[in-house]
């Protein structure tokens, strides 16, 4: 912790006293955290993330982690000599690709995160949508951007049918931290790869979470001049969609966030995962470290 050696005891006391009202306010509440991007691939940021999750748990807040793994899947497919095929930005997931997705997400990536949290002093448990019949899914039918009557087959990519959060609640009640891979199962016991932002947003709604935190590789939602918008209502977000301020890769992330905000999640935070401890700073201080979307 050498980088903090310049902080005086007085500064530390001020920081802690500023956090106290937030700790009191969120005690016993659930927070769903989507973990991806740089925060997930840089060792210093990985350690900071794990410490933040453990600290939240220790002060009585219930973190639930949902992770992605696009870059890790990509490099595993490359090692097998398999080239990814994409339609409208969506990975076509055939049987062989799905096998790779499962062993990368539910194996390698999930266990890395579980290990990091445990190393930081927490008790993490890995889950996929199969565990406890947790995430039921069906095949995603993807419509063409220009002609909605044209549907593309993107293989074993899933749409969420329903989420039964009882396994997550049981773990939370027992002081465990659930770490969830975004894999669902279908009627024929087949596996589906589901967008991690979508799983996090839907899970936050089902758990009636206090907050949904989306760690990204951007500072948050920017206006047309590139300035960070720190505090937005659901209605203001609708307007930013309509006038094209929000577009491209931010669209699916924000639309999931918006659904969560409209269905009972008090606030959604889009936080810059490239800033160490940004999540903690966003939750426990007055300073905004990203964009907060209020439900009203």
Residue 193 among known ligand-binding residues: yes
CB-based contact 54:120 (threshold 8 Å): yes
Return the HEC string of 79-117: HCCCCCCEECCEECECHHHHHHHHHHHHHHHHHHHHHHH
Please, which residues bridge with residue 228 across strands? 222
Cα-based angle 140, 143, 145 (whole degrees, multiple of 5): 135
Q: Rg for the chain (alpha carbons), in Å?
A: 19
Retrieve residue 37's tokens: 């991007």
Residue 70 among known ligand-binding residues: yes
Spatial distance between the Cα atoms of 252 and 147, rounded to a whole number of angstroms: 19
Phi, psi dihedrals of residue 109, rounded to the nearest 5°: -65, -50
Which residues belong to the annotated binding site? 69-70, 91, 193
Which residues belong to the annotated binding site for substrate? 69-70, 91, 193
């Amino acid at each position: 912790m050498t980088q903090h050696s310049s902080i005086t005891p007085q500064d530390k006391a001020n920081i802690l006293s500023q956090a106290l009202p937030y700790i009191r306010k969120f005690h016993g509440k659930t927070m769903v955290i989507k973990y991806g991007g740089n925060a997930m691939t840089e060792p210093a940021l990985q350690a900071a993330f794990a410490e933040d999750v453990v600290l939240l748990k220790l002060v009585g807040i219930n973190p639930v982690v949902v992770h992605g793994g696009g870059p890790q899947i990509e490099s595993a497919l490359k090692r097998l000599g398999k080239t990814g095929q994409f339609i409208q930005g969506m990975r076509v997931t055939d049987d062989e690709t799905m096998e790779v997705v499962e062993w990368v997400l539910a194996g390698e990536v999930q266990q890395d995160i579980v290990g990091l949290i445990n190393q930081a002093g927490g008790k993490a448990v890995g889950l996929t949508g199969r565990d406890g019949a947790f995430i039921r899914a069906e095949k995603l039918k993807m419509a063409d951007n220009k002609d909605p009557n044209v549907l593309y087959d993107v293989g074993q990519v899933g749409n969420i049918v329903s989420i039964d959060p009882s396994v997550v609640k049981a773990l939370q009640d027992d002081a465990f931290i659930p770490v969830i891979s975004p894999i669902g199962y279908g009627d024929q016991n087949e596996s589906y790869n589901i967008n991690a932002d979508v799983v996090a947003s839907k899970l936050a709604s089902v758990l009636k979470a206090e907050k949904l935190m989306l760690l990204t590789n951007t500072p948050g939602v920017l206006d047309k001049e590139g300035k960070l918008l720190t505090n937005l209502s659901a209605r203001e977000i609708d307007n930013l969609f309509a006038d094209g301020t929000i577009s491209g890769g931010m669209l699916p992330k924000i639309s999931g966030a918006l659904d969560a905000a409209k269905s009972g999640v008090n606030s959604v935070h889009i936080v810059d995962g490239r800033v160490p401890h940004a999540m903690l700073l966003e939750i426990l201080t007055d300073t905004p470290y990203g964009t907060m979307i209020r439900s009203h």
